[in-house]
Amino acid sequence: MAKDINRERLEDSDVDAWASNYAVVFSTQRGYQKGERFVELRMQTLKNIDDHLESQPVEKWHVLAKIFNDRIETWPVHADPFYVLYLAPTHEIINCIRYCPPKPFASILPQNPEEAVSLIEWCSTPSYLICATKALA
């Protein structure tokens, strides 16, 4: 079962208007896949029932990213629960984005949602996004 549930409010002006009204909840869970350790970052998913949002069980939350020692794999989705494309990939034909830094990350993987989000944000610098745009163009 996932643990370390954290509630954060998004205050970025670029975030959709709905985000300022709802707390975003993340959870981390350690895992092991093909001989590699990773930390899974999950984003709370909500079910919209007659304009009332109900949280899904943690096991059904969207896997937003998997952080390995040598890479980060992300599955960005539309996060507005009132949007018709809720949980659909944000980049339509691109489902997974993989970031592989020149050198592996520290041997200690993130311990909680705050550390996981911080690492992903650190890797998503403007220069990285420009490189990704050029590579995907």
pLDDT digits (tens, 9 = 90+) for 103-116: 888 778 999 998 99
Q: How far is CA 110 from CA 33, 38, 40, 61, 79, in A?
A: 17, 9, 10, 19, 23
For the chain, what percent of residues have pLDDT higher than 70? 74
130: left (phi over 0), alpha (psi -120 to 50) or beta: alpha
Predicted model pTM: 0.72
Query: pLDDT band at 79, cuts 50/70/90?
Result: confident
Amino acid at 127: S
The total domain count for the chain is 1
Domain that holds residue 42: 3-136
**CA–CA dist 52, 115 (Å, integer):** 31
| Closest to 124 measured CA to CA, from 65, 53, 63 | 65
Overall size of the chain counted in residues: 137
Residue range 9-26: mean pLDDT, rounded: 49
Query: pLDDT band at 83, cuts 50/70/90?
Result: confident
Q: How far is CA 34 from CA 55, 59, 74, 117, in A?
A: 31, 21, 18, 24
Q: Please answer whether residues 46 and 77 qualify as being in contact, where contact means their C-beta atoms are separated by less than 8 angstroms.
A: no
More confident residue, 26 or 51: 26
